[in-house]
Amino acid sequence: MDIQSAGSILNEKAARKEPSIYTSMILTGIVAAVFIVMLHLDAGAARLSAIYLGYLSAMLVLLVYSSFRQVRCNPYSYNIIFYRGFILFFLILLLSSIRYCIGIFRVPDAFSSYDIIWFISDSAITYLYMSFSAVVVFSVWLIVSNICLIRHEGKRLVNVLGILLAILMTGGLLILLWFSTRPPIDIPKSLQFFVNLILNLGAVLYLYFECMLIGALIAVVSVAHYQPEPDQDFIIILGCRIRKDGTPTPLLRGRIDRAIGFYLMQKEETGHAPYFVTSGGQGQDEVTSESTSMKAYLLEKGIPEDQIIEEDRSENTYQNMLFSKEKILAVKPDAKVAYSTTNYHVFRSGLYARRVRMDAVGMGQPTRWWFWANATVRECVGLLTDNRRLQALILGSFLGISFGITWLSFQ
């Protein structure tokens, strides 16, 4: 997707054009209401199957359309995670439902309305079965990359998070699938309802976070290789920890070198030299601020001092963007802005830039694959904990729908 033409710092017009994530929730609510009415009227399995297939198709089209439109408006949006994560879910659900519904269409008298309800109530489990191989491959990749990371970086808790996540993902999936193949027999109907309810809710909870993790991974990877247009006025360099002697770590040097490379390229092509904004405060165990460390490195590389603006108050990425914006506005309110960071950090940084209402385009510095894997997973987990209210709303809706379908299937 082309987002190379960054706009001004405030881009109200683009923000108003963004698709709403609530559209899919409204569509789901309308279809659920129609489904309940049709079920009450005993419309038959064939009509209910047609409604269900129509809903899955409409949701798939809506999510694909919203994803492309969101990228054009704002590629650093939390909504992209939802759109891209659940495209796969609805695609798998649609493909698995077509064959079953065709059987209903051929012999409608052989099925009751509640047969389709039972089929829908098992949709979460069906998705988990079909995604099992992908989860195993992903888990193996995490474990292998973490072993390589430990060999290079040493044994630290942060370096084994990928292994822990792989164990949780694979173990949780195996437990759910094991119980789904061993339904209880010879127990009261009320107890069987609660057993199925717990299984269905557990499956929905698992698939939700699986889809959101997939969406976050796609979002992080998709913006990692963007290249801003060579017409930028400022390049923000996002800081990270520095060495004990005050010099940049290899990770931070990579970010600075990426910014310098773009600076030289733009200056050669257009003659316009952007300002550097070195953004990063001083930690309690650091001898100087990250900003000062980056400035010294830039000076060593021959960058003129009057082309460097220091921002030395920030303590995290959000503050990097907020305080850098203040520095930029003081010089040129309608500036075009780019930022340089590590490839796995581009998406989240862009998300924070938009939160402070700054339309900035990111450029990412590559890292070694074994470091990238663990860092990207940490970044994705961080993204999923950023917007808790929206997470709770969407997940609550999924769990509520699962509860309602399970209840209907036992009537």
Please, where are the H alpha helices in 43-159?
Answer: 45-73, 78-106, 113-121, 123-130, 132-153
The whole-number pLDDT of residue 183 equals 61
Q: How far is the C-alpha of 349 from the C-alpha of 383, rounded, in Å?
A: 11
User: How many CA within 13 A on the CB side of residue 97?
Assistant: 29
Could you tell me the maximum CA-CA distance found in the chain, to the nearest angstrom?
81
Backbone angles phi, psi at 391, to 5 degrees: -60, -45
* pLDDT, one tens digit for every residue, the chain (411 residues): 333 333 344 444 444 477 888 898 899 889 988 888 888 888 888 999 999 999 999 999 999 999 999 988 889 998 999 999 999 899 999 998 998 889 898 888 888 888 888 888 888 998 999 989 999 999 999 999 989 989 888 887 778 888 898 999 999 999 988 888 766 666 676 688 888 888 889 999 999 999 998 999 999 999 988 889 999 999 999 999 899 999 999 999 999 999 999 999 999 999 999 999 999 999 888 899 999 999 999 999 999 999 999 999 999 999 999 999 999 999 998 899 999 999 999 999 999 999 999 999 999 999 888 888 888 888 888 888 877 888 888 889 889 988 988 888 776
Per-residue confidence (pLDDT) for residue 186, from 0 to 100: 66
For 9-65, the pLDDT digits (tens) are: 444 444 447 788 889 889 988 998 888 888 888 888 899 999 999 999 999 999 999
**What homologous superfamily is domain 234-335 in, according to CATH?**
HUPs (3.40.50.620)
Residue 274 tokens read as: 């952007």
Distance from C-alpha of 285 to C-alpha of 244, rounded to nearest angstrom:
8
Q: What's this model's pTM, rounded to 2 decimal places?
A: 0.85
Residues 6+ apart with CB under 8 A from 184: 191, 192, 195
Rounded Cα distance between 66 and 79, Å, is: 9
Rounded CA-CA distance 201/218 in Å is 26
The residue ranges of every structural domain in the chain are 12-224+387-409, 234-335
Hey, is 337 helix, strand or coil? strand
